[in-house]
Amino acid sequence: MNLIILGLGNPGTSYEYSRHNVGHLFVNRLAEFHKSSFHANQFFEVCSFPFEDGKLTLLKSVNYMNKNGFGLKGFLGNIKGTKHELVIVHDELDLPLGRAKFSLGKSAAGHNGVSSVLEQLDFSPPRLRVGIEATRPRNLPPSEFVLSRFTCDEQITLGSMFPTLFHSLKLIVNQGLSFAMNYTNSYPSNKPATI
């Protein structure tokens, strides 16, 4: 199986460590872990490398969040041969920092990046929702909070989750999405012996 991960976010260094860019942070860290790098095409920055018995392809849109889905249908249509699974990774305000959950068939719930993806596709791909909720000042609206930057301590918390989530991708390939969902959605989080 070839696994395709689209990490949602905004392009540019000014957004790099914002809460809304968890999807980009995730695929960036995954590429670094596998000593691979991105190259740009018309709609995405793309990174591919061997993964288990197939290939892992990482995507980051070159457009802003509300257009993250542009070009995705064409990209998927150009992939031939081996079965592939698409997973969307994005920030989730309804989950606390340090938690993550896979979901299937959920609505966009106001997330502009997810809405853009669903508008472009004729199916709803599985989504890895990474919690970003922390102590938010009452006078700070959610639209501004998601664009705020993670503190150094929050970045450490986020980074500590990634080995578990990377292992979840292996489980999708080797044991199926349902198994990976059960592993990832459990609380307290599972810790892989190896990644």
Helix (H, G, I), strand (E, B) or coil at 106: coil
- Active-site residue flag, 24: no
Query: Which residues touch 82 (CB under 8 Å, ≥6 apart)?
Result: 1, 2, 54, 55
Query: Closest Cα to residue 72, out of 51, 57, 82?
Result: 57
Q: Which of 20, 24, 111, 167 is catalytic?
A: 20
Task: Give the span between the Cα atoms of 59 and 72, in whole angstroms.
Answer: 10
Q: Contact 6/56 with Cβ under 8 angstroms?
A: no
Exposure of 163 in the CB half-sphere (CA atoms within 13 A): 10
Task: Give the span between the Cα atoms of 130 and 158, in whole angstroms.
Answer: 9
Task: Give the span between the Cα atoms of 128 and 182, in whole angstroms.
Answer: 12
| Bridge partner list, 6 | 59, 88
> Which residues are marked as active site?
20
